[in-house]
C-alpha cells in the first residue's frame, strides 16, 4: 500500500481524489516517516492496543498505528475524507467516526460508563477552560483552500456544561503525590494525534478530564508544548500547565520543524506525551481547582485579590484573609502559585465562601 506519510503519498491521494488541504480545519499532513516513528514509539503502541486518533486526515498516522497492531478509532470532521479513509483501509481494524471531536461523548464511543472512571467528561460537566484566542492560533498553512466540511468556528467553540456537584475533601498532604480516593482506573486507551491547532487546548482538556486514557501523545504547536512543562513565574505557565500537572506527567518527545508537514505551516511543532497519573497529583476537587485557576489566570495582570474578587464575591477583606491563611500574599499574581498552592486555595475558598457550585 502507498506510504501515506510522505510528500509523494500525500500528492498521490490529493490527485487521485481531487483534494486540497483545508486550512480552516488545520490540515497540515505529516510527511516525515522519522517523526511518525518517534510518535508511535513514544506512544508505546502494542499489538491490540485501543487507540483514539483525532483527525486522521488522509491516514498517514492511521497507517502507522494500524501497522503497529493498534485497534484504531478515528474521529474526523472533514466529511470528504471519510469515504477516502474507508476505501484506503477497507478490512483493517479501523473505526471512523465523522464529526467534531469536541461534540463527541468519548465514553459512549468506547462503550464505557462515565461513572466508573475518574473525572466526568467535559460534555458531562468537566471544568473546560476558556479558549485563549491569542495562544490558540490556528496553524497558518501556505495554501488557503476552499472549505466545504463542517464549520470549524463551531468546532472550536468551547462549551461549558453544568458543573458536577462538588464535595469538599480533606485537604491534601502538600508536595507529595496524594491520592483522591477512591482511586479509579483509566480505560487503558491511548490517544494519539497530530492535532488541528485551533482546538488544541479544549481537546487536551477533554482527553485529560475524560479519565479514559492511559496516555495522550500529541503533536502541538511548539509554543503550546512549552506550556505543558512550564513552572510558576514563567511566561508560558497557565491553566494548561496546571491541567497537565494535575492529571499527568508530561514529556517532550521531539521538536518538529515546519518542513515535516504538507502544506507547510508557519510555525514549528513539537510532540508531547502525557502519561496519565493513577490519581490526580493533588487532593483537590478538579472542578473547584480549575474554577480557581481560571479565575486567577483570566485576569493575569491583576493581583490574586482582584482577580478572584469577581469570581468569588465574598468581599475583599474575607478573600485577603483566605489567601493569607493559605500562606499566599493577596498582592501576588496567580502565575506565581504552584499547583499545591492552588489546591489549598481552592479548598479554602470552598470551605469559607460556600461560593463553589
CB of 312 to ligand SAM, least distance (A): 33
> Is 4 or 337 the residue whose CB approaches ligand SAM more closely?
4
> Is 93 or 299 the residue whose CB approaches ligand SAM more closely?
93
CB of 4 to ligand SAM, least distance (A): 8
> Is 199 or 242 the residue whose CB approaches ligand SAM more closely?
199
Rounded to whole angstroms, how far apart are CA atoms 297 and 314?
Answer: 19
DSSP 151-180: -HHHHHPPP-PPPPP--PPPPP-SSS---P
DSSP 260-273: GEESPBSS-EEEEE
Q: Which residues contact 309 (CB under 8 A, 6 or more apart)?
A: 316, 319
Q: Based on the number of CB atoms within 10 Å of its own CB, is 137 exposed (0-12), middle (13-18) or buried (19 or more)?
A: middle
CB of 103 to ligand SAM, least distance (A): 8
Rounded to whole angstroms, how far apart are CA atoms 32 and 30?
Answer: 6
CB of 48 to ligand SAM, least distance (A): 21
Cell of 288: 473547584
Q: Based on the number of CB atoms within 10 Å of its own CB, is 185 exposed (0-12), middle (13-18) or buried (19 or more)?
A: exposed
CB of 144 to ligand SAM, least distance (A): 15
Residue nearest ligand SAM, Cβ-based:
55
Rounded to whole angstroms, how far apart are CA atoms 121 and 309?
Answer: 28
> Is 263 or 334 the residue whose CB approaches ligand SAM more closely?
263
Strand 269-276 to 213-221 pairing? antiparallel
> Is 98 or 352 the residue whose CB approaches ligand SAM more closely?
98
DSSP letter, residue 12:
H
> Is 57 or 211 the residue whose CB approaches ligand SAM more closely?
57
CB of 216 to ligand SAM, least distance (A): 15
If we measure between CA atoms, which residue out of 161, 115, 153 comes closest to residue 133?
Answer: 153
Cα-Cα-Cα-Cα torsion 232, 238, 241, 243, nearest 10 degrees, comes to 120
CB of 260 to ligand SAM, least distance (A): 10
> Is 221 or 346 the residue whose CB approaches ligand SAM more closely?
221
CB of 79 to ligand SAM, least distance (A): 10
> Is 60 or 125 the residue whose CB approaches ligand SAM more closely?
60
Q: Which chain residues interact with ligand SAM by CB under 6 A?
A: 25-30, 54-57, 60-61, 75-78, 100-102, 152, 155, 194, 196, 199
Name the helix (H) or strand (E) containing 165. none
Amino acid at each position: 500500500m502507498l506510504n501515506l506519510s510522505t510528500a509523494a503519498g500525500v500528492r498521490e491521494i490529493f490527485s487521485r481524489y481531487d483534494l486540497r488541504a483545508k486550512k480552516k480545519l488545520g490540515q497540515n499532513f505529516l510527511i516525515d516517516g522519522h517523526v511518525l516513528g518517534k510518535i508511535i514509539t513514544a506512544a508505546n503502541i502494542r499489538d491490540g492496543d485501543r487507540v483514539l486518533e483525532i483527525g486522521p486526515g488522509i491516514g498517514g498516522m492511521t497507517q502507522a498505528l494500524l501497522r503497529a497492531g493498534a485497534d484504531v478509532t478515528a474521529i474526523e470532521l472533514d466529511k470528504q475524507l471519510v469515504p477516502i479513509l474507508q476505501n484506503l483501509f477497507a478490512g483493517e481494524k479501523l473505526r471512523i467516526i465523522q464529526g467534531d471531536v469536541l461534540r463527541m461523548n468519548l465514553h459512549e464511543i468506547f462503550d464505557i460508563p462515565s461513572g466508573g472512571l475518574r473525572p466526568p467528561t467535559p460534555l458531562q460537566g468537566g471544568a473546560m477552560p476558556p479558549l485563549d484566542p491569542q495562544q490558540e492560533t490556528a496553524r497558518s498553512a501556505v495554501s488557503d483552500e476552499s472549505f466545504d466540511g463542517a464549520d470549524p468556528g463551531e468546532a472550536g467553540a468551547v462549551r461549558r456544561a453544568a458543573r458536577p456537584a462538588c464535595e469538599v475533601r480533606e485537604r491534601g498532604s502538600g508536595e507529595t503525590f496524594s491520592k483522591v480516593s477512591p482511586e479509579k482506573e483509566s480505560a487503558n486507551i491511548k490517544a494519539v494525534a497530530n492535532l488541528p491547532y485551533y482546538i488544541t487546548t479544549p481537546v487536551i482538556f477533554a482527553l485529560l478530564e475524560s479519565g479514559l486514557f492511559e496516555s495522550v501523545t500529541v503533536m502541538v504547536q511548539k509554543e503550546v508544548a512549552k506550556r505543558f512543562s512550564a513552572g510558576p513565574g514563567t511566561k508560558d505557565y497557565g491553566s494548561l500547565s496546571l491541567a497537565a500537572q494535575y492529571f499527568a506527567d508530561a514529556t517532550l518527545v521531539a521538536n518538529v520543524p515546519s518542513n515535516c508537514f504538507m502544506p507547510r505551516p508557519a510555525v514549528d511543532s513539537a510532540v508531547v506525551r502525557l502519561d496519565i497519573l493513577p490519581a490526580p497529583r493533588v487532593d483537590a476537587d478538579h472542578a473547584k481547582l480549575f474554577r480557581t485557576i481560571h479565575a486567577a489566570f483570566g485576569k493575569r495582570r491583576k493581583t490574586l485579590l482582584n482577580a478572584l474578587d469577581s469570581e468569588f464575591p465574598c468581599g475583599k477583606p474575607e478573600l485577603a484573609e483566605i489567601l493569607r491563611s493559605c500562606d499566599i500574599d493577596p498582592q501576588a499574581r496567580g502565575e506565581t502559585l504552584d499547583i499545591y498552592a492552588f489546591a489549598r486555595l481552592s479548598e479554602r475558598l470552598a470551605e469559607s465562601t460556600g461560593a463553589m457550585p
